[in-house]
Structure formats: C-alpha cells, structure tokens
Chain A
Amino acid sequence: MITDLLGAGLLDTLFPNGIGRYAVGGLLVGLGTAVIYLGTAITAGASTFLESTLSYVSDRSRFQQYRASRDWRVVFTLSIIAGAAIYALIYQGEPWSLSGSAWLTEVAPWRLFVGGIFVGVGTRIGKGCTSGHGICGVGSVSRTSLAGVVTFLLVAIVTANVVAALGVTP
C-alpha cells in the first residue's frame, strides 16, 4: 500500500502531465516514419528540408546536393504542418473552431531566433536532428546517432538549466 502510494507520487513527480499524450504522440511519430519507410525505404528526417529548400534560392554546392529530394521534402514539411493543424483543430480550444484553436508560445522571440540559428547550424553539421538521429537513428540502433543524441541531449540540458538559472523566463 505504502509502496503503491510512493510509486504514484513518484510518477506524478516525473510525469505531472501523465504519459498518455507522450506515448501516443511518440507512437504516431514513429508510425508516420514507418509509413514513409514502407513505401519508399527512405528514413525521413526533418532538418534536411532546411538545406534542400535553400537549393531553390542558392546555387551553393552544399544545397544543390539535395536537389533531387527537395520537392518531396517540401511535401513532407507541409504535411507535418497540416497534421499538426488537424490535431489543433480537434484538441485545442473549441473542437473544429478555426478561430479558437491556436496555441501561442510565451518563449521570448530572441530565444526562438537565436536558438533557431544554432539549431540550423548544428543539425546540419551533426548529420541529423531529433527526428533523423532521435527517431530514425535510434530506431536503427546506429552508434553514430546514439552518440549524436547523447551529445545534443546533454548540451541542451546544461544550456536550458543555465538559461533558467540566469532567470530568463520564459
């Protein structure tokens, strides 16, 4: 009985919002990846879109190497936006209400922009992001990806805690 209570307390502490949304959401992210893989054998990551899309406006060799995949990566990204929009229409605010379904972050714009620059540089140099390394690479049990995930996870934990300790909120 006491261990039950302790267990429940620990779960509440570690997962104050429960685990359902995370587990179900994660399974769906994996399912989307699996559907694309089943049809195409492509292990789709999200961050290559940044460079492949730049090939439309820049002749740099670094971007042009992604020319062959740039159109489907645009389709992939637009579908991600659309899928998330369907989620928002159903679960955020009044169901299927266009006006009341938006959710807005309170994280400061400078954090989003400056952080975004680091994300843009780092994911491309590091050969992948949370979907490429984190989902596809971990799923493949790739040692390169596991090293990448551990690296960005540890650095992100340090960074977020330093930022919080400096009193930057949100």
Chain B
Amino acid sequence: MSRHPLFLPVIAVGGLIFGFGLGFSHMARPEVVIDFLTFEDFGLLFVMFGGSIVAGVAFWTLSAAGGDAPLTGRRYTRRLKSFDRNVLLGGSVFGVGWGLSGICPGAAYASLGVGNWPILYALAGMFVGAYLQGVWRSESTTNTAAVPSDD
C-alpha cells in the first residue's frame, strides 16, 4: 500500500498542534483535571467544547461538501460510531480511571512532553489495561477451543 508522501508529515503537524494545545490548556496536568472533576475550576469545559467546535466545523463543512481527502482518497465523513452497551460500560470504566488519576490517553502523551516523567506510571497502566481487554475480547470473539489456559 503506497501512501502519499505528505501523509505522515501532515499527521505529525496535526499532532504537534494537538500536543501543544494540550500543554497550553494544562490538560497535561492531572491536578487540573481533578480540580475540574471536584468543581474547583471549570476550565476543562472550554477545552472540550472549544476543541470539538473547531473540529466539528471541519467535519461538517468537508463532509457536507463531499469529496475525498487529498492524501488518502478517503471520503470525508463525520465520526459516527455504533451505539451499544459497551459505550456505557467502557465509558463507566474509563470514568473511574479518569476520576482516580486525572489523566486520559492524549493528555498522558502530552504530559510526558512537558517533562512529567511520573506519568509513565499512568501510561504503563493504560497499556496493561488495553492488553487485558484485548486478551479478553480476542478470546470472546474468536470462539476457539474453550479450554482454560493459564497463559
């Protein structure tokens, strides 16, 4: 599969702006997120709604105009995922983790960037969690021999 030579550079530029924004918004600091969740500082609302409005303008105008993206040929569509109980189950589990630690995946990457090395504990936990659910769901969907395994 050949890619447009500008594909990865555009991902990188977008990621740089995204990460700079997470640093600037202080979302890379778990304390600021915990202050929001405990009603000390409502600033996080501006981050989420500010970000979603800008992204939303891009999604809605480009998908309404139709056509394909220049670097991938993919059709412009909005992000619409199917709803099932996993959205509520997973959202609840994520909420426990977010409330306990004050950090979410994107902010954790940015937190590493602002020099906050203890966030490696959170990143390690995230990989452990992603692995655990992956193992569990690979087993429940592949439906292979139902022999209990210790590995």
Contact = CB atoms under 8 A, between A and B. Distances in A.
Interface of A: 14-19, 21-47, 49-51, 53-54, 58, 60-63, 68, 71-72, 75-88, 91-92, 101-107, 109-145, 147-149, 151-164, 170
Interface of B: 1, 6-8, 10-31, 34, 37-38, 40-60, 62, 68-72, 74-83, 86-119, 121-135, 137-138, 141-142
25 contacts: A22-B25, A22-B43, A23-B47, A26-B48, A26-B54, A40-B11, A46-B104, A46-B105, A50-B127, A61-B138, A76-B15, A84-B111, A111-B100, A115-B96, A116-B126, A118-B101, A118-B125, A119-B97, A122-B129, A134-B51, A139-B79, A142-B79, A144-B81, A147-B83, A159-B95
A106 B32 CA distance: 11
B5 to A, nearest CB: 12
Contacts of A125: 86, 89-90, 93, 133, 137
A151 B115 contact: no
B19 A116 contact: no
Secondary structure of the B contact surface, majority rule: helix
A47 B81 CA distance: 15
Q: Which of the listed residues B10, B14, B78 has the most CB atoms from chain A within 10 Å of its own CB?
A: B14
A46 B109 contact: yes
A83 B23 contact: yes
Contacts of A35: 10, 13-14, 17
Given A32-B20, A50-B130, 18 more contacts: A25-B22, A28-B17, A39-B14, A42-B74, A50-B129, A79-B13, A83-B23, A84-B112, A87-B113, A116-B101, A116-B108, A120-B129, A122-B91, A125-B90, A129-B105, A131-B18, A139-B53, A147-B87
A57 to B, nearest CB: 9
Q: What 4 A-B pairs are tightest by C-beta distance, nearest first? A: A120-B129, A25-B25, A126-B90, A116-B125
Given A26-B48, A122-B96, A147-B83, A107 B101 contact: yes
A25 B137 CA distance: 36
A113 B121 contact: yes
Contacts of A45: 106
B46 A19 contact: yes
Contacts of A43: 55, 59, 78-79
Contacts of B89: 125-126
B97 A122 contact: yes
